[in-house]
A and B are shown apart, each in its own frame.
Chain A
């Protein structure tokens, strides 16, 4: 079956198609709430600068941020059933992914970890420059960019 291979991290048991479908049902609703279109958090250069070896560390930081900050706070902004259901699919599968990411913490990985963290900080920095609600909406609206980047590691 298919699995994610972020560098040396392997993740099985997650159906990327289900995540895509979950986001696709709410994409227009969520993206229409993002009026700050001159800012893109997951910029092309950030994603292109993440090497294969760094990808495991980068995706772990990103998904943790999405679970602990983005989704957690955005949930309070919505009572729309379809969004709640889609988010439940996304968040619970992100929990599965994070639980299976076992990046090695050995010393020689230090520079890779550092570099991956820098890319994550670029994302987080742009997030923090926005008003909170706008940042939450934008981060959720960019899930198609995130899932497309993840798909490159889905084999």
Chain B
């Protein structure tokens, strides 16, 4: 209570979980029995911090949200430090702002190996990679499954569509693995498991 007026507590335990360039801000919910609490999220990037420290920008998706979490992916649009804050609202009552303890930078996101699907169309080796969004490119490494075979690398610009990789020779067995590369943060994931496929027909 403040001067006898019930004060809404500020949300606590703010943290950001980020994987494959999807960033989720979470916090501990404010509980008032029998009431629905709404939350507002705001952010400021390095520019705002440096030049306009008074300026906070309402989050794209969470200017008034019920859940104790917010997808801030569309707010984090540069590889710089971002401050984030949340406050709770119940009717006319609003809590104080609660600010993320450490600024968030998207270059800390976790990058997982991509799922790959290998098919063949006649002698053509075709790969389809997991669609992770426009920020992702893929480095695909493929080789003929025989001793001393040379590895080839091809960059695949987007996931979700079958892409021609190689023309195979009859009777050969080809293997491949892939990793993601995110140019916005200049980092790549670990490689996926290798997958192999064989081409029917007599070897030449």
Q: A-side interface residues toward B, CB under 8 Å?
A: 1-3, 12-15, 17-18, 22, 67-68, 71-72, 75, 81, 84-85, 88-89, 91-96
Contact = CB atoms under 8 A, between A and B. Distances in A.
5 contacts: A12-B183, A13-B183, A14-B184, A67-B51, A92-B77
B60 A85 contact: yes
A91 B47 contact: yes
B78 A92 contact: yes
B96 interface: no
B68 interface: no
Given A88-B47, A91-B45, A96 B78 contact: yes
Contact of B47 (A2, A17, A71): A71
B80 A88 contact: no
Interface size bracket, B side: 20 to 34
Given A95-B46, A95-B78, A84 B51 contact: no
Given A81-B58, A92-B47, A96-B78, 9 more contacts: A2-B183, A13-B79, A13-B185, A18-B77, A85-B60, A88-B57, A88-B77, A89-B77, A91-B47
Interface of B: 43-48, 50-52, 55, 57-58, 60, 75, 77-80, 134-135, 137, 181, 183-186
Contacts of A96: 78-80
Given A1-B183, A2-B183, A14-B184, A95 B80 contact: yes
